[in-house]
Amino acid sequence: MTEDHDKQAHAPVHRPEGGRRIKGLFSTQTVEKVGTGTTQRKTISKMYWFCAQTDDQSVGVQALNKNMVPAGTVTPVPVEDFLARYNPEPEMYLKTVYPKMQELSSTVSRAEESRQRGALYSAQFDFENALAVDEENVRANFGLGLTYVERGESAKAQDILGRIVGLEAAFAPEHKHLFNEFGISLRKSRMIDQSIEYYTRALTLSTTDENLHYNVARAFYDKGDLEKCREHLAEALRLNPDHEEAKRFVEFLDTKK
């Protein structure tokens, strides 16, 4: 058969544009009336948001969690509405939020490095510390799931994968390669059905990545579903007629007839 290696999905390409972009900590205020008659009074509630301009039309807005790091869904807000409603909080950002974001990012990076060199218990420790700060952190959830897969703890891995399904942020296009890496690891660990499920989810993020189709084809081959295998190989070759691994895979399947 073809070489026993999977193909990495295309990494997302970021093309910064000219001009100053909105990025940092901002707040919004809500005024509410409490009580009635002469006892009525106004209360002001304040919320903090990490905001980053995504294009000329909108700013991505993400609430801070109780640990003062951005977490959860990023909501696009039109630039004009953003400028009218959101107030900058540079001091709080520099003194509190930015250092916490940096610390969280360092913890996740350290965990990923530990996993790469096979120090799986150290990786688990740091991934869990990261999730204690932000339980919705996509990189930490994926990383902990991969750690469990590599340790052969399929039940724990399945629990983490189930959690990821509920993370809306996990389905952002920039995380497509994480789904792909999961699929590779699951397939090599003989968790074939789970591999197919997560490759398929990656394809919902990008239907035009020939490498993802090639990897799904490998998983279907391992499952014994040659019809689905050929379908994805055909799609990989439609997207990239020069995909050498896919061509060799088709040739191999033809010799098996």
Angle between helices 176-188 and 192-205 (to 10 degrees): 160
pLDDT at 17 over 50: no
In a domain, 239, yes or no: yes
Q: Residue 28 — φ and ψ, nearest 5°?
A: -130, 155
In a domain, 206, yes or no: yes
DSSP code for 242: T
- pLDDT higher at 256 or 119: 119
pLDDT score of 6: 62
In a domain, 70, yes or no: no
Closest to 227 measured CA to CA, from 242, 235, 217: 217
Ranges 18-32, 185-199, 222-236, most confident: 222-236
In a domain, 67, yes or no: no
Q: How many residues would you count in the chain? A: 257
In a domain, 235, yes or no: yes
Query: Could you give the number of structural domains in the chain?
Result: 1
**For the chain, percent of residues with pLDDT exceeding 90:** 52
Strand partners, 70: 64
DSSP H helices, 2-119, are 79-85, 90-92, 98-116
pLDDT at 42 over 80: no
Residue 182's CB is within 10 A of a number of other CB atoms, namely 26
Query: What is the torsional sign of CA 205, 207, 209, 211?
Result: positive
| Reported confidence tier of residue 171, pLDDT bands at 50, 70, 90 | low
Tens of pLDDT, residue by residue over 88-109, are: 999 999 999 999 999 999 999 9
Kindly report the pTM of this predicted structure.
Answer: 0.69
Report which residue type is found at 207: T
- Rounded Cα distance, 109 and 123, in Å: 10
| Reported confidence tier of residue 113, pLDDT bands at 50, 70, 90 | very high
Task: Give yes or no for a contact between 101 and 69, defined as CB atoms under 8 angstroms apart.
Answer: yes
In a domain, 51, yes or no: no
pLDDT at 16 over 60: no
Report which residue type is found at 110: R
Report which residue type is found at 224: G
Task: Give yes or no for a contact between 23 and 52, defined as CB atoms under 8 angstroms apart.
Answer: yes
Contacts of 73 (CB under 8 A, 6+ apart): 62, 168, 169
- pLDDT higher at 171 or 50: 50
| Reported confidence tier of residue 11, pLDDT bands at 50, 70, 90 | very low
Task: Give yes or no for a contact between 34 and 43, defined as CB atoms under 8 angstroms apart.
Answer: yes
In a domain, 10, yes or no: no
pLDDT at 198 over 80: no
Task: Give yes or no for a contact between 129 and 138, defined as CB atoms under 8 angstroms apart.
Answer: no
| Reported confidence tier of residue 188, pLDDT bands at 50, 70, 90 | confident
Ranges 47-61, 148-162, 172-186, most confident: 47-61
pLDDT at 112 over 80: yes
Closest to 137 measured CA to CA, from 175, 96, 184, 180: 175
The alpha-carbon radius of gyration of the chain (Å, integer) is 23
Structural domain for 214, as ranges? 191-257
Lowest mean pLDDT among 15-19, 108-112, 157-161: 15-19
In a domain, 249, yes or no: yes
Tens of pLDDT, residue by residue over 114-154, are: 999 999 999 999 999 999 999 989 899 989 999 998 888 88
| Reported confidence tier of residue 80, pLDDT bands at 50, 70, 90 | very high
Tell me the CATH number at 240: 1.25.40.10
| Reported confidence tier of residue 50, pLDDT bands at 50, 70, 90 | very high
**Segment 223-246 mean pLDDT:** 93
